Structure 1
Amino acid sequence: MTAPLWTNRFDRQVILVTGAAGGLGRASVERLAAEGAIVVATDLKSPDNLAGHSGAFLTMELDVTRADHWRVAVDSAVEQFGRLDGLLMCHGAQGPEADVERIALEDWQRTLRINLDSCFLGLQAVMPTMKRQSYGRVAVLSSISGREGNASMSAYSTSKAGVIALVKSVAKEAAADGITINAVAPSMFQTPLLQHLSEERNAALLSRVPMGRIGQPLEFAALAAWLLSAECSYTTGQVLDLSGGRYAGS
């Protein structure tokens, strides 16, 4: 499945992508680069795993749960390229698949730290630069479970609901500074995260998608590219559905 490219849409704008080694992140890096962006591809994995990443101008190791890593990533991008126009946060962890009474506190906290605290740290890191520029675009990976909640996935659902509230709050703070901040709420997508769920869980989740299929990373990349572009000039604080119609039936 492909979508038409808008050649030079980004005209060498600088965009930092987290989770760049994952399915959604990798597809997004390639799409953004093909449309003219200077992409800083980051991931928790070793930079060796990002080497040769199609379209990445700069690859970096980034532990999104650490404020000092965020500062290094943003400072490196600005020092090397002179600015930072966009941030796409594609990282995340599935978290425990269990009823609430069987979830260990450390697993709950780890899920929120990776999925929610990290986005708070990322926004803290990029806002000063974007406000100085009077321009910025931020897109954050949430989930349809952040809107609806998934049984036996309370940690994940809670973290993604928190992302939605964070996006809405900070978008209002930054609206007068030429910065838009939006979230994307996918349902099932063809990524390695599906491998961490049981066959029964995957079947149950797919049964709730009216289109009856799993989404493809290129479909996410197409929406992310628009949210990170100058065309996204009057849309902020929103959660865009990417669920094959699942939320439309709620």
Structure 2
Amino acid sequence: MTQETPAGAVLEFEPWAGRFSERVVLVTGAAGGLGAQAVQRLHSEGAIVIATDIRSPDTGHAALSLELDVADPEAWAQAAQRIRDAYGRLDGALFCHGIQGPEHTIQDVPIAGWKKTLEINLDGCFYGLQMVVPLMRQENYGRIVMLSSIAGREGNENMSAYAVSKAGLITLAKTVAKETARYGITINCIAPSMFNTRLLEDLSAERNAALLARVPMQRVGEPQEFSALALWLLSPEASYMTGQVLDLSGGRNTA
């Protein structure tokens, strides 16, 4: 990490060499955004990365790239079998998949858009936990991180489907964390505010401006800032933290 940076500048972070040496880590949503950067850093820190997305991601940093429709439980079962066959275990899972969903007031939210948002954002993690937890239990070790959102803690007007799906992840994490703590497995959520990913393009300019106005740092977050936190939660060092939600919001106001 650089020692001196201008006010408001984004820090660059140096990889921790060998932190994930020989650890097998699954990343969903690995084709872009927050997932792609996390894959890159995991690889640089020695992880055996399994990168997945709706189409097999070509990251250049993964030991195994898989096509995975997270809303399909059978696809998850097939992915789990591939992991068993290739590595026999799974040490970490970072669920970075998600969609923004419809941007409407409640009376105008299309039913199809509501269902699709929850199927991908919430059901996709539920199915994932059903598959990865047994792999981790057999080793009495595991680290799971799920991408929630500040919207899941506070709500965002005109984004009911997205906010509800991300709130559901928080409760899911807290529940399953209690079930798995005795097996050496930790499950935590990260709740970002605005980040420099393609999802910002799915929001109107007015919505982006309104959300940014609530961030005291007056800038969006960068993917490397997300991966810095996510990788710590995925590491052996995060041994006594489970069932928690960590805001990554630039100090976003709650009003």
TM-score, with structure 1 as normaliser: 0.96
Q: Which residue of 83, 88, 91 maps to 2:89?
A: 83
Secondary structure (helix, strand or coil) at the match of 2:90 reads coil
Secondary structure (helix, strand or coil) at the match of 1:115 reads helix
CA shift for structure 1 position 96:
0.3
The equivalences for 1:1-250 within 5 A come to 1-45=11-55, 47=56, 50-51=57-58, 53-246=59-252
CA shift for structure 1 position 129:
1.2
Please give the alpha-carbon distance, in whole angstroms, between the structure 2 residues aligned to 1:136 and 1:209: 33
Please give the alpha-carbon distance, in whole angstroms, between the structure 1 residues aligned to 2:32 and 2:61: 15
CA shift for structure 1 position 54:
3.1
RMSD, aligned CA: 1.0
Relative contact order higher in (CA < 8 Å, ≥ 6 apart): 1
Please give the alpha-carbon distance, in whole angstroms, between the structure 2 residues aligned to 1:139 and 1:64: 15
Secondary structure (helix, strand or coil) at the match of 2:16 reads coil
Q: Kindly provide the amino acid, as one letter, of the partner of residue 19 in structure 2.
A: R
Please give the alpha-carbon distance, in whole angstroms, between the structure 1 residues aligned to 2:21 and 2:48: 9
Residues 187-214 of structure 1, C-alpha deviations (whole Å, 9 max, x = no match): 0000000001000000000000011000
Q: Kindly provide the amino acid, as one letter, of the partner of residue 80 in structure 2.
A: V
Q: Percent identity?
A: 58
Task: Please list every run of 5 or more consecutive structure 1 residues that lacks an aligned counterpart in the other structure.
Answer: none
Q: Kindly provide the amino acid, as one letter, of the partner of residue 2 in structure 1.
A: E
Please give the alpha-carbon distance, in whole angstroms, between the structure 1 residues aligned to 2:19 and 2:224: 17
Structure 1 stretches of 4+ with a deviation exceeding 2 A read: none
CA shift for structure 1 position 78:
2.1
Please give the alpha-carbon distance, in whole angstroms, between the structure 1 residues aligned to 2:229 and 2:83: 24
CA shift for structure 1 position 220:
0.5
Q: How many residues are aligned here?
A: 245
Please give the alpha-carbon distance, in whole angstroms, between the structure 1 residues aligned to 2:244 and 2:14: 24
Per the alignment, residue 3 of structure 2 pairs with none
Kept in 2, the 8 Å contact 1:29–1:54? The answer is: no
Task: Please list every run of 5 or more consecutive structure 2 residues that lacks an aligned counterpart in the other structure.
Answer: 1-10
Deviates more, 1:184-193 or 1:103-112: 103-112
TM-score, with structure 2 as normaliser: 0.94
Q: Kindly provide the amino acid, as one letter, of the partner of residue 93 in structure 2.
A: L
CA shift for structure 1 position 128:
1.0
